[in-house]
Structure 1
Amino acid sequence: MKIANKIIKALFFTFLISSVMIFSGVVYLENTLDSEFKIKNGDSLTITAPVPITAEYNGAKLSNVSGKYAPLNEFSVNLKAFGIIPISSAKVEVVDQLQVAVLGMPFGMKIYTKGVLVSDITSVSTQNGNKNPAKKAGIKVGDYILSVNGKQVYTNEDLGYIVESSGGKNMKFCVIRGKTKLYFNFSAVMDKNTEQYKIGVWVKDSSAGIGTLTFYSPSTNLLCGLGHGICDDQSKKLLKINSGEIVSAQIISIDKGKMGTAGQLKGKFNYDTLGDIRLNCNQGVYGTFKGNLKFTNLTEIALKQEIKEGKAQIITTIDGEVPKAYSCKIALKGANYNSSTQNMIVTVTDKELLEKTGGIVQGMSGSPILQNGKLIGAITHVLLEDSTKGYAIFAENMLETAQSVANEQLKEAS
């Protein structure tokens, strides 16, 4: 009897532990697997995960999307672990083969903000002590000042002139915070040292820098690069663009990266205009192509579920203007499908690149990554604790953003 009880208890605890492990696994997969997938007509949906994942449509295993599925363009599937344990549902979109011209060449960015960005707030030294009228009124770092008393503000000089001309009288400020338009009424104070009226803010109206172009999309006529957004150095806020240019550039020197310090590619603008910037967002910089370059060789974009951990190639330029391929390894992040930007971890393995740059450095952001002849993503960031490693974004996510930009252009034209 005692032996039987021990067996029952052992079975119970085994069942309990197994149930907890299965439940934890389901929760983990539910939080990491994407809820949307693109798939090419005739291809099977294979999902990279720690355990086998199958997709079912109307109770049947989804083996390919030819025939009865393709005409739907979009349909929902149920995802199951080992083919039996329900995880979640996902939307599948059937797409044509996606092709772009892979670049890897350096480019210069000249950006002008929408209004002026408040990058810092500081006190003004007055005869009556330190004052900060902007802060007191409610203006914050990251706000964009669009107008004052109905007058449009385009540059730092515009704001300075309006504030100085106010003579200390009350002014009405129109400000954008995120997507919300706000209004503030307050007056400037006189700086006792300069005898000028000030409101206590540092503002920014433009930015410039060098990055790497990822690809050109013939279907949208867009140049896509950087893989991450351009932010203000002080506020760390994404710059809202009023206008901007993409120009050709060349690399002239390298500050080698090392542990704890990010290296940098140093370059100069050639001032040959390649395009007009249309969007600065978390997925990179996107601009309408206007240059004279000819793109003849097109490369297929790999969908995220096609990417495998292991060997790949970085296409980048570390000297002059000519891109070159360098070896690397990629690993998919645990929650890679739920991120729109940092989807992969890249480790540089190429001896030449390690010798010259120390791995990944600033200016390489946007460098394309190829695997099995397909474009899988682009470099976005370097890991400060290890300059041989960095993050990368899926190329599929960048192309999706490019399509959104193209759709907005069509709306504007209609």
Structure 2
Amino acid sequence: MSNYKNKCIFSLFFIVILFTAFNSYSFYEIFNYPEEIKIFEDEKHTLDIKFPFKFDTQKIDNSVLQLLQNNKHSDTNTLYINPLKIGQTNIQVNLLGFLPIRKLQVDVVPKIKVIPGGQSVGVRLNTKGVLVVGLEEINGIDGKKHNPSREAGLTIGDSIIEINSLKIKDADHVTSIINQNKNTEITLKVKRREKIFNVKIKPVKSIDEGEYRIGLWVRDKTAGVGTLTFYHPDTMRFGALGHAITDIDTGLLLTVDHGQIVKSKVASIKQGKRGHPGEIKGIFYETSKPMGNLEKNTHFGIFGKAYEPITNDIYKKPIEISYQNQIHEGKATILTTIDNNKIEEYEVYIEKVNRQRTPNTKSMIIKVTDKRLLKKSGGIVQGMSGSPIIQDGKLIGAVTHVFVNDPSKGYGLFIEWMIKKAEIDIYNNSQLADKY
């Protein structure tokens, strides 16, 4: 009976421990920690977890990492990591020292050096095909109203890639093909999110315009102003904006057929106020000499390749980037262009760092503390998206969004997500970084 009672007590104790663990902040922190931890090859690092979790380091690759644990404090387990060479290994996290909970992959990587941006840039983007932004009824010559596109199942947000196997160049091209075929049925190749399908539509002659139409409003290009985030000298690749270019009517991400970034001058600034985001209005100039070719439009910024080296008068030499595990709450700066077409550095404070297992544009919360910037713009305004964030002399991220109810605050994106989307091969180019 005594043994049974002891087993019951132990089981109850174990259940309480499990319940406490799974409802503790430590558990939340462990499971929201990135699956991969990147550490630069010559920089030491520490990892901390709290009871009831412990590190199991018995199965690590000792040729990649040298580890030392410190358990002096009963509630904290600190792991000191000394990277030995470029490589990869795993660290196991256990509950109560024996129940496997999570496996952390540790990558020792070469340093990446980039020139931070801050320049105001104009963005010109032509879409793949044309984007459907509206459906409209046609007054036919028969006196009836028609909308062939709606009847065929097209919706706002669809992209028309081809008509009768001809790749669509722009909106005028659509009009030309439709009127060449007149009232003959045409075949449209359509993309809806990740799905591609064909529809057949018979154009209708409009009594108003005297032309054949299919009842669509389409858009083929867009333009705007943002901020350059970084330039990678070894590959000449760049990243900007920190968020996607979306269609103003549909809110959908625009797919790039071709595009460019050009130099931009700040023409005016509308100050940000509570409930009313501010805005930078820019003017494109030297459009005959674009800065670079635009290749990708993603949720984490736009990316491409520069035609010539891009410079920064404040940071004339490339600086290292930081991964999220190196970023901390505290003082930082941002680079941006507000007036005089000159990059300036302004003080900010990182109020919160959100550890992310998967890419997200809301990686950290920043607050503008620099009185100069607050006076000029009220804080973060539209057009500053992509402004590089620097902490401890390293590029850590980019400004992405402003808080509508507090323009002094906004979100920042981890630079590692942008580097990944830029497709910079850190291993092939590592041997070049030291020459700067």
Task: Judge conservation of contact 2:46–2:80 (CA < 8 Å) in 1.
Answer: no
**Correspondence for 1:109 among 102, 118, 123:** 123
Which residue matches 1:209?
224
- Answer yes or no: is the 8 Å Cα contact 1:336–1:344 preserved in 2: no
The residue that corresponds to 1:285 in the other structure is: 302
Q: Is 1:95 paired with 2:109?
A: yes
2:403 alignment partner in structure 1 = 383
Change (3 A) 1:255 1:23: same
1:321-342 deviations in Å (ceiling 9; x for gaps): 2111111111335454433322
Closer, same or farther: CA 40–112 of 1 in aligned 2, 3 Å = same
Instruction: Name the SS of the counterpart of 2:208 in structure 1.
Output: coil
Amino acid across the alignment from 1:306? Q
Partner of residue 371 from structure 1, selected from 391, 408, 412:
391
Q: For residue 188 of structure 1, what is the aligned residue in structure 2?
A: 203
Distance (Å, rounded) in 2 between the aligned partners of 1:59 and 1:406: 27
Aligned amino acid, residue 282 of structure 1: H
Q: In the superposition, relative to structure 1, how do residues 78 and 324 fare at CA in structure 2: closer, same or farther (>3 Å)?
A: same
Structure 2 distance, partners of 1:350, 1:275, is 32
User: Which whole-Å CA distance do the structure 1 matches of 2:97 and 2:42 have between them?
Assistant: 21
- Kept in 2, the 8 Å contact 1:147–1:153? The answer is yes
CA distance in 1, matches of 2:210, 2:366: 54
| Counterpart pick for 2:290 among 265, 268, 273 | 273
Cα separation, partners in 2 of 1:386 and 1:148, compared to 1, 3 Å: same
- The answer to whether the 8 Å contact 2:227/2:241 transfers is yes
> Does structure 1 residue 356 correspond to structure 2 residue 356?
no
- Contact 1:36–1:90 under 8 Å retained in 2: yes
Q: Which moved more, 1:304-313 or 1:183-192?
A: 183-192
Structure 1 contact 33–338 (Cα < 8 Å) conserved: no
2:347 and 2:370 in contact (8 A); partners too: yes
Matched with 1:22 is 21
Please give the per-residue CA displacement for 1:286-321, whole angstroms capped at 9, x wherever unaligned. Answer: 121113544641111011100001211111111132
SS at match of 2:234: coil
- Aligned-partner Cα distance in 2 for 1:55–1:321: 51
How far apart, in 2, do the equivalents of 1:66 and 1:174 lie? 52
CA RMSD of aligned residues (A): 3.0
CA contact (8 A) 2:328 2:353 kept: no
Q: Is the 8 A contact 2:327 2:353 kept in 1?
A: no
User: In 2, Cα distance between the equivalents of 1:249 and 1:53?
Assistant: 52
Equivalent residue letter for 1:397: W
| Residue in structure 2 matched with residue 139 of structure 1 by the alignment | 154
Instruction: Report the counterpart of residue 3 of structure 2 in structure 1.
Output: none
Q: TM-score, normalised by structure 2?
A: 0.82
Question: What are the ranges of 5 or more consecutive residues in structure 1 without an aligned counterpart?
Answer: 1-9, 408-414
Superposition map of 1:164-313 within 5 A: 164-270=179-285, 271=287, 272-291=289-308, 293-294=310-311, 296-313=316-333
**Helix, strand or coil: the match of 2:362?**
coil
Q: How many residues end up aligned between the 2 structures?
A: 397
Cα distance in structure 2, aligned partners of 1:87 and 1:216: 40
Note the alpha carbon deviations across 1:36-94, whole angstroms, 9 max, x for none.
Answer: 22111243444588989875443575633534xx35x2222223589787541122222
**Contact kept in structure 1, 2:38 and 2:323, CA below 8 Å:** yes
C-alpha distance in 1, partners of 2:83/2:128? 47
Q: Residue 373 of structure 2 aligns to which amino acid in structure 1?
A: L
TM-score by length of 1: 0.86
Unmatched tracts of structure 2, length 5 or more: 1-8, 61-66, 68-78, 428-436
Q: Deviations over 1:118-165 (max 9, x none)?
A: 122333344565432212212232222121112221110000121233
Structure 1's 31 and 63: CA in aligned 2 closer, same or farther, altered over 3 A?
closer
Structure 1's 307 and 52: CA in aligned 2 closer, same or farther, altered over 3 A?
A: farther
Other-structure match for 1:315: 335
**Separation in 2 of the partners of 1:405 and 1:239?**
26
2:21–2:52 Cα contact (<8 Å) kept: no
Correspondence for 1:330: 350
Matching of residue 121 in structure 1 with residue 135 in structure 2: yes
Asked if 1:401 is matched to 2:421, the reply is: yes
| Separation (CA, whole Å) in 1 of partners of 2:17 and 2:54 | 21
SS in 2 for 1:104: coil
